[in-house]
Chain A
Amino acid sequence: MSEDSEVPVPDAPLTRLPTFVLPPSEKTPQFTINAVNKSYKHQYANIYFVRLRLLREFVEKNAEKRWKGIEGNPVFVRRVLDVVKGKLCYIVGTVYMDMPLKPNVLEDIARDHAIPVPPLRQKYHSEKDNTMLEDESGRIRLVGERMKSSNLVTGVIIAALGIETNNGDFEVVDICYAGMAPQPGAESPKDADESMDIDDAASFGSADHDEWIAIVSGLDVGAVSSSDAQLQMLAEYLTGEAGGLDDQQGVSRISRLIVAGNSLAPVVINEELDKKSRRYGHDNSSFSPHPTRLLASCLEDIARSMAIHLLAGATDPSGTLLPQQALPRAMFGGASAYGSFSTETNPTYLHIGTTQPPSSDGKTNGNASSSKAASSSSSSRTPNRTILVHSGQPLDDMFCYLPTPPVTRLNIAEATLRWRHIAPTAPDTLWCHPYFTKDPFIITETPDIYIVGNQPAFKTKLVTERARDGEKERRCRIVLVPSFNQTGTLVLVNLRTLVARSVSFAVEGMTAGGQGS
């Protein structure tokens, strides 16, 4: 075989399949906090009130369906304190986990400040935990065998079926959640089966003609153990410079990249250096703009050939409260010159479609070539997709509440869909904006793809909820994206079939930061 033939040359320059960001639907919340609503004066209790007010209805409905006609004829008691002893009933309320190991703000206040702050616990879970159910009237303790396997966290709205005991506790027999939210673009079961038939056949390569998206998180540029080589490999792979023809044909299907947080490594503050006098606001010996520049140049490389959505993460220079606001575009130098590069809030909803939406003046955005491509891609069978992305903080926080091994991160992510809430532990242990009249973390529409960034390992699952009452089946692809710096993993998702793949970048025979080899 000739050496030249080992790297085949494409017949024509490859073109990336286009997808377009569609206008947000009216039901999906926006997480932008602008000057008008940037208010910190409200009490956090409002969030719980609003959450209960909004989700109670769905939980009640589900509970009624589930427990109607069962033995004992349970009645619905509207207030948790109105429960009658010895009578089978079900109640709806907000879960509160009373955990001795959970951080407590009152303890923080009462703490002696001369003593250094104890390190944060990795787990709040212990044997002494109590589960409460509360509503506007009061709270009642939930007990029973069922509670041991319930795996609940603070802030979840549930219905509990059971009987009040002599101690005043509520012995739970069964638990019911709100269930998955409606999915407007959901396929009927028949269509879903058809699309799933070709899942296996749809390989990521020349035979595949579907649009894909790529997701990466935890680039951690500037970390002590950086993975610059993998990062460069990633950029070259996505732009199509590296790899063979198969690789390039596959890459040409990837229409956009989502960077799900933690793009920059956390800044390590050296207190000794910090005390030194600074010039121009920063100490040159300890501060380096290198990570930002490196990230900007990497993103610029990729932005030349594909659209990018960049989310802020826990270690990024953004606010701590959720929702984290979009990073300033100006941080990213040349990449910000591209209209297809956008910085997003964390969490965020992305609506992606293959048809270019008309702009406000009725014209299509972009130049003539893009509109031409849009028309050509309109023949695509890929439906519009709603993608919910966050950088992993809510899941990490919930993970602290629950015992592992029985519970996995994938379980928790799936549970959030059934709870209809992305971050139920906010504002208890997860810091969030003090919303007054809304709780944007409530899932009002089940997304097609639910991406959680900065997880320890790549996991994925297609969660489905059976069609009932003539409704369409609800499907959601959960993707836990690992930290790229730790694992060198890029995740690809087919927008039509929701099939996921992973691409890992590694080096062998040489030392490298990050994953290494």
Chain B
Amino acid sequence: MEAEGNDFPDARSNTPEGIPTPRRSERVARWALIKAALDLDYNFLAFPIENEQECGYVQVVKPELRSFHSSLHTSEEPAYATYWLSGDVRSESVSKASRQPVNGDSMDIDEDVMIDDDEDESEEEEVVPQIKITLVGERELEAAKSKYLRIHSEHIYCLSPSPVTDADLICGPTQLVHKKDESLAADAVTLLGRIAGPHVRRGRYVKPATSSLKADEPSTSKRAQAEQQKAERDTKAKRDAAPEAETRKEEKPVTSAKPKPTGKLDWTKAKTKTKVETSGAKHEAKDEKKRKGKADNAAKMEVDEEGSKAQKTSGRDKPSEEGSASSVKVEEKPGKSTKRPTPPKQTPSDQNVKMQRGVKRKSALPDEIDSEPDAPKSRTKTPTPPVESKGKAGAKLNGKKNVVLSDDEEEAAPAPRNRISKMKGKGKAKPIVPDFDSEAEMSVRAMMDIDDGKLSRIEISGAKFIGRRADHVIKASNKQERQQETPHASEPEDEFEPEPPMTPAEDVLMIDDSDDEPVKPKPRKRKEKKVWPVGRNGFRKRRVMKSRMTVDDKGYMGMFIEDYSDYESVDEEETEAEKEKPKARKSGTKSRKSTTPAEDKTERKPLRASDSYDTHKAKSTSTEKPKRAGSSGKNPQGNLTHFFGKK
């Protein structure tokens, strides 16, 4: 046998394309290597993996190992071979073998099912050709061969000094091979006999992307939207300021004097405005709302899968079946396509507005759901800025809906179609035209809302209903709080819905979050505790604030409070008297400390006397108020501290 194996020609035989054929000297050396590996290094010799680096091309060396193995039959130290068999087998045998779950009780049912399925599936299941690859010891080789219909290949897989009883032992040298492989170049893979393709490459994985690859949001994160909106609100305001500057020239002083949006309504300013100003503000509010509406629509479109884009353009002409998609917004209804505005007509400012999707809009219900008029609307988590939440009839309706759970009122509510038209009217020139995508989404939301509405009406005791009730309670309490905070703003409160409508998609916890947000600025107003100097008598010193009447450059007389940043010791009697004062001030709208009534009059004079008095100045005075209030507020606190300190 060995002699046959040694009869390899020295020159390359039939491998013209660079597959190396071993020379005689090489073969002898390798045999020695294999022998040494068997005897010394390892109990196991896996072939070809173990020594493929030394042995070269896999297919060339396989017969060499066979020759080596046959040569050992005559020797005293035989090696036991494990064979690799591959070939076609009968489908039944393989399928039965593949159906036998080996371990795990969890598969019992499936096993039963499989057995039961045999009869049924024989009709429908395809019988496909089966290839079986078996590792078998040389003793069982013939028995294994008999199971094959046709054998594709048979070669020695590995040699071992004893018969292999545990198949996992074959994997022993694998780690060594891996280490060796790591040291090899990537191109060496093919030289060793592995089959590699040109599409297999090292480097970073690059995910193929379409040119129109869209954001694949399965759900719209409102928080993310709110963050995005917050971030872009400032930029938008800047951008919008330029085109709107001309139209709002008269309002400019008002808008320029606007404080930064703190999330709180300042209704006192709205009261002091003149008619022109208020109308201007309303106009602005409408503009804002209009923009917001656009932004909502645009954002909805953006947030949705961009796959809808294709359907927007092509879906109209296509049969409806072709236009299916997994997103709601993608759905379109043929026949309404004329309403949809064409995207190219959008101005750059509109595009900017597009990105500003923040709060959910009240959705307009389509005709389908006319019979369910008062569906609760989506509700946002983000606090709406004061201007944005200004008066809309629809919003008012929702506001009522969110608070009152009356069936009569729900029935009395206008039909959705009316609401759409109303919105159109309110929205002036460019109302929120319900394009198809947004409308589809609205209808879905409306479906959800209707369901919830029904639930509340029929009073099913379910978690959803409970949550809804809780929501109403929360809403009502929040509203009361708001009214307390701004007592003279109750009228606008009714008219302007400060919170967008609610969807059933949001639970009570979310609503709590959203309601908390406007209140957030409140704790910031707390004054830092100051260390007050204490006099000899043990009482805290009083801060010296002196007022003085002066005439400024323009000839106006005004009172200025001067802070000397000094402290005077006070008597105990004085402190008692002071203790009463701040309370009285607190109840009043103005808190002034050391001003006499006469001085007060003189101070107010310029404000009342001249109608042309600049509102800006008025505001500047109003901005001083909190400061004074704050400064006056320190005294009671100090006294209170003293009260406790004394004990």
A457 to chain B, nearest CB (A): 5
Task: Give the interface centre of B135, B203, B210, B464 by most chain A CB atoms within 10 Å.
Answer: B135
- Would A438 and B155 be within 8 Å (CB), given that A461-B124, A510-B165 are in contact? no
Q: Closest approach, in angstroms, between the C-beta of A390 and any C-beta of chain B?
A: 15
In the complex, chain B residues whose CB is within 8 Å of the CB of A11: 14-17, 19
Cβ–Cβ < 8 Å partners of A123 in chain B: 109
B222, chain A: closest CB distance, angstroms = 8
Contact across chains for B200 and A305 when beta carbons are under 8 A apart:
yes
Q: Closest approach, in angstroms, between the C-beta of B623 and any C-beta of chain A?
A: 39
Q: Is the CB of A410 within 8 A of B125?
A: yes
B131 touches A338 (CB 8 A): no
Instruction: Kindly provide the distance from the CB of B571 to the nearest chain A CB, expressed in whole angstroms.
Output: 60
CA distance A499 to B129 in the complex (A): 10
B128 partner residues in chain A, CB cutoff 8 A: 460, 499-502
Q: A370 touching B198 by the CB < 8 A rule?
A: yes
When A246-B152, A509-B137 are in contact, do A442 and B126 touch as well, CB less than 8 Å?
A: no
**Contacts A204-B131, A501-B128 given: A339-B198 contact, CB under 8 Å?**
no
User: Interface code A288-306, partner B: CB below 8 Å = 1, 0 otherwise?
Assistant: 0000000001001101111
Is A508's CB under 8 angstroms from B307's CB? no
Q: Does B201 contact A (CB under 8 A)?
A: yes
B94 contacts chain A at the CB level, 8 A cutoff = yes
Beta-carbon nearest neighbor of B381 in chain A: A41
B144 and A38 form a contact (CB under 8 A): no
Question: What are 19 A-B contacts with C-beta separation under 8 Å?
Answer: A4-B66, A9-B15, A15-B197, A20-B199, A23-B210, A24-B208, A54-B324, A136-B451, A240-B193, A241-B58, A338-B205, A339-B202, A339-B204, A359-B206, A404-B113, A437-B329, A444-B324, A461-B126, A487-B97
- Whether A512 pairs with B205 at a CB distance below 8 angstroms is no
User: C-beta contact mask, A1-36 vs B, less than 8 Å → 1, else 0?
Assistant: 011111111111111111111111111011111011
- In the complex the two chains form, is A297's CB within 8 Å of B174's CB? yes
B242 contacts chain A at the CB level, 8 A cutoff: no
Residues in B neighbouring A256, C-beta threshold 8 A: 199
Q: Which listed residue (A20, A502, A516) contacts B98, Cβ 8 A?
A: A502
Chain A nearest Cβ from B101, distance in angstroms: 5
A contact residues around B205 at 8 Å (CB): 329, 338-342
Residue pair A304, B200 in contact (C-beta under 8 Å): yes
Q: Is B537 an interface residue when CB atoms closer than 8 A count as contact?
A: no
The docked-state distance in angstroms from the alpha carbon of A4 to that of B202 is 36
The 8 Å CB contact of B152, one of A181, A228, A244, A506, is: A244
A96 to chain B minimum Cβ distance, whole angstroms, is 14
Q: In the complex, how many angstroms separate the beta carbon of B255 from the nearest chain A beta carbon?
A: 33
In chain B, residues 102-118, which have Cβ atoms closer than 8 Å to a Cβ of chain A?
Answer: 102-104, 106-114, 116-117
Please state if A7 and B63 are interface contacts (CB–CB under 8 Å). yes
Interface contact A3-B447, CB-CB below 8 Å: no
Q: Are B63 and A435 in contact (CB under 8 A)?
A: no
A54 cross-chain contacts in B, Cβ below 8 A: 324-326, 328, 331
With known contacts A3-B63, A514-B102, A255–B197 Cβ distance under 8 A: yes
CB <8 Å contact, A50 and B444: yes
Q: Are B331 and A340 in contact (CB under 8 A)?
A: no
> CB < 8 Å: which of B48, B139, B157, B303 contacts A509?
B139
Q: Which of B21, B137, B221 has the most CB of A within 10 A?
A: B221
Q: Among B16, B167, B168, find the residue whose CB has the most chain A CB atoms closer than 10 A.
A: B167
| Complex Cα spacing A66 to B113, Å | 33
Once the chains bind, are A41 and B198 in contact (CB under 8 Å)? no
B182 within 8 A of A: yes
Residues of A contacting B110 in the complex (Cβ-Cβ under 8 angstroms): 456
Residue numbers in B under 8 Å from A378 (CB-CB): none
Selected from B109, B171, B221, the residue in CB contact (under 8 A) with A39 is B221
Residues of B within 8 A of A196 (CB): none
| Interface residues as binary, A489-514 with B (CB distance below 8 Å gives 1, 0 otherwise) | 10000000001111111111111111
Task: Classify the secondary structure of A's interface with B.
Answer: loop
* 8 Å CB interface, B15-62 against A: 15-19, 21, 48-49, 52, 57-60, 62
Residues on B with C-beta less than 8 A from A252 are 195
Q: Are B135 and A29 in contact (CB under 8 A)?
A: no
**Closest CB of chain A to B29's CB: distance in Å?**
18
B5-A229 in contact (CB<8A): no
Chain A interface: which of B505-513, B553-561, B612-620?
B505-513
B168's partner among A16, A228, A306, A339 (CB-CB below 8 A) is A228
Cβ 8 A contact of A434, one of B132, B219, B303? B219
Q: Which residues of B contact A33 (CB under 8 A)?
A: 218
- Given known pairs A225-B103, A507-B167, A510-B166, the reply for A251 and B195 (CB within 8 Å) is yes
A396 to chain B, nearest CB (A): 9
Cβ–Cβ < 8 Å partners of B63 in chain A: 3-7
Selected contact of B216 from candidates A29, A233, A513, CB within 8 Å: A29
Q: CA of A123 to CA of B108 in the docked complex: distance in angstroms?
A: 12
In the complex, A439→B331 CA distance in Å?
12
| New A-B contacts (19) at CB < 8 Å, excluding given A37-B218, A53-B443 | A3-B4, A6-B63, A7-B59, A18-B198, A19-B199, A21-B208, A23-B209, A39-B220, A42-B505, A243-B133, A247-B86, A306-B200, A357-B208, A366-B198, A404-B117, A420-B324, A438-B327, A504-B98, A509-B140
Please measure, in the bound complex, the distance between the C-alpha atom of A32 and the C-alpha atom of B99, giving whole angstroms: 34
* Bound Cα distance from A512 to B193, whole angstroms: 28
Contact indicator per residue, chain B 86-99, by CB within 8 Å of chain A (1) or not (0)? 10000000110111
Q: With A9-B59, A14-B195 known to touch, is A456 a contact of B506 (CB < 8 Å)? A: no
Asked whether, in the complex, the Cβ of A516 is within 8 Å of the Cβ of B102, the reply is: yes
Residues of A within 8 A of B201 (CB): 338-340, 366-367, 370
Please give, as numbers and ranges, the residues of chain B lying within 8 Å of A437 by CB-CB distance.
218-220, 303-304, 327-329, 441, 444
Q: In the docked arrangement, what's the CA distance between A459 and B95, Å?
A: 9
A76 beta carbon closer than 8 Å to chain B: no
Segment 434-466 of B: residues with Cβ below 8 Å from A: 440-441, 443-444, 447-448, 450-451, 454, 464
Closest residue of B by beta carbon distance from A505:
B133
Size bin of chain A's contact surface:
35 or more
Do A512 and B59 have beta carbons less than 8 Å apart? no
Contact A10 B59 (CB under 8 A): yes
**Across the interface, do A248 and B59 meet the contact criterion of CB distance under 8 Å?**
yes
Given A13-B18, A26-B307, A461-B126, A46 contacting B505 (CB threshold 8 A): yes
Residue of A nearest to B138 (CB): A509
Q: Is the CB of B19 within 8 A of A229?
A: no
Q: Hey, what's the 0/1 contact readout for B65-84 against A, CB within 8 Å counting as 1?
A: 01100100000000000001
CB distance from A149 to the nearest CB of B (A): 13
Q: List, in ascending order, chain B residues with CB within 8 A of A138's CB.
A: 454
Tell me if B153 and A245 are in contact (CB < 8 A). yes
Please tell me if B224 contacts chain A, counting CB pairs below 8 Å.
yes
In the assembled complex, the CB of B619 is this many whole angstroms from the nearest CB of chain A, namely: 40
Bound complex: CA A505 to CA B170 (Å): 14
Which B residues between 591 and 644 are near A, CB-CB below 8 angstroms? none
Given contacts A7-B63, A13-B17, A438-B328, contact A18 B197 (CB under 8 A): yes
Which of B109, B139, B310, B320 makes the CB contact (< 8 A) with A122? B109
Note all chain A residues with C-beta closer than 8 A to B217: 36-37
Closest partner residue, chain A, to B170 (CB atom): A229
Q: Do A373 and B133 have beta carbons less than 8 Å apart?
A: no
Q: Does A72 contact B (CB under 8 A)?
A: no
Report whether B98 and A300 are in contact in the complex, using a CB–CB cutoff of 8 Å. Answer: no
Q: Among residues 369 to 398 in chain A, which have CB atoms less than 8 Å away from a CB atom of chain B?
A: 369-370, 372-374
The answer to whether B170 touches A232 (Cβ under 8 A) is yes
Q: In the complex the two chains form, is A436's CB within 8 Å of B447's CB? A: no
Verify if A331 is at the interface (C-beta below 8 Å from B): no
Is A39's CB under 8 angstroms from B223's CB?
yes
Out of B14, B49, B507, which one reaches A236, CB within 8 Å? B49
Other-chain contact of A506, B14, B134, B178 (Cβ < 8 Å)? B134
Query: Contacts A7-B63, A510-B164 given: A244-B304 contact, CB under 8 Å?
Result: no
Provide the residues of chain B in CB contact with A482, threshold 8 Å.
Answer: 98
Q: Name the one of A15, A57, A239, A408 contacting B120, with C-beta atoms under 8 angstroms.
A: A408
Roughly how many angstroms separate A57 CA and B324 CA in the complex, as a whole number? 9
Q: How far is the CA of A366 from the CA of B197 in the complex (A)?
A: 12
